[in-house]
Amino acid sequence: MELAIFLIVVAGIFAAALYFFARRKPPLASVPPVAVEKSNYEISYVAPQFQWSGTSSGELPIKILTYKQYECLEDARYGFRIVAVPPTERKLPQPYKTRAHGLKTVDSLLKHGFLDLGSDGGYVISDHGLNALDVCRVRY
């Protein structure tokens, strides 16, 4: 009886050793770091008309965007028409290529010159707003 218990314990220890040995990862080979060439090309998923022109559009009036402001500018950057609605109506369905944002958020972005009035009644991002997306930090 004691011999059987001893053999079961030894078999368990052997099985655990095999399990951990099988899971062990081989050591990483030391690879010298590859020098990255700085190129003139940037990877971007934004259409060129929604990228900052690069020209100086003056000093930005604010240095930090709130998350809601950032979200609104990102929507405008990707070609959505921005409409200002009360907070209770923000989650309601909107027409195609339209995004609803809070009144205070849109008013603040208009005041700072980050949004312009579009031809169809909504708001579109200005060059100043594209600059803000590239330069300003975001407060979450």
Domains of the chain: 58-139 (1.10.10)
For 125, the 3-state DSSP assignment is strand
The separation between CA 128 and the C-alpha centre of its own chain, rounded to angstroms, equals: 20
pLDDT at 82: 92
pLDDT at 87: 84
| Euclidean distance between CA atoms 53 and 50, whole angstroms | 9
Write down the mean pLDDT value for the chain: 79
| Euclidean distance between CA atoms 66 and 68, whole angstroms | 5
pTM: 0.59
DSSP H or E segment with residue 82: strand 81-85
